[in-house]
Amino acid sequence: MIQSASVNAELRAQLFDVAAHPQTCGDGLAMVFGDMEVRVQIFSIMSSTTAAAQPRELFRMTRSLDRLDQVEKIALRDIAFRQASGETVDEAEVRLAYRVGLQARLELPGQPRNMWFRAIAKVSEADLQAAYNEIIDREATPEFFQSMIAREFWMSYLEIRYAPEFEPVKQPFNQRLVALDELPPDQRSDQQYLEQIGLISRQREQAINEFAITLSRQIAQAVNMTAQ
């Protein structure tokens, strides 16, 4: 981590920002270091992986981040349920227990393998298995792929890596914008012009997102075939 940060100013600034987040105990600090490790792994993939392997490796990384987000949501849901029942809950320990318990089977990035106060968390193996099943089942849903393309670095990567493939998707909308600009002023009002720009832009974004999801599904299939 230190070596990677020493040679890249942007990564170094990101790590300083993460490190500035206040924590109160050793297990809390473990989550901070986990977040820092995630940043380093993304940097490593983008800077050292071959062009052919990069889509699959970056997809794995993006998927693992989505899984980490889902683990966090499940942990927070568990915490909220317990608190609603009147139980006193150590939130940091519960959150970390889910991360530690699922890091191997879900390939969660940058997570510690052990924790100091596991008994305090009261997270059972049945809780972990239920969380695992929920997360894996979600990856067959449209919601999962929507969340993938919502990640800016993944969407940006797709648009750069597959720019020639995106061009036919974008071109009809670009042509419509050009045609709109070429209309004489007496054939459209300013309000109509703005409304048409808004409509074309929304339709363009939807088409781009749908194509990005198609690409993401194809890459997911390649990743799953490699894992078999």
The pLDDT tens digits for 46-62 are: 777 888 888 999 999 88
Residue 118 known to be catalytic: no
Q: Is the pLDDT of residue 75 over 90?
A: yes
Highest mean pLDDT among 40-44, 138-142, 182-186: 138-142
Residue 14: per-residue pLDDT: 52
Its pTM stands at 0.76
Residue tagged active-site, from 13, 25, 80, 183 = 25
Residue 38: per-residue pLDDT: 63
109: Cβ contacts below 8 Å, ≥ 6 apart: 34, 37, 38, 41, 61, 64, 65, 68
Q: Is the pLDDT of residue 92 over 50?
A: yes
Whole-number Å distance between alpha carbons of 112 and 100? 6
Give 27's DSSP letter.
H
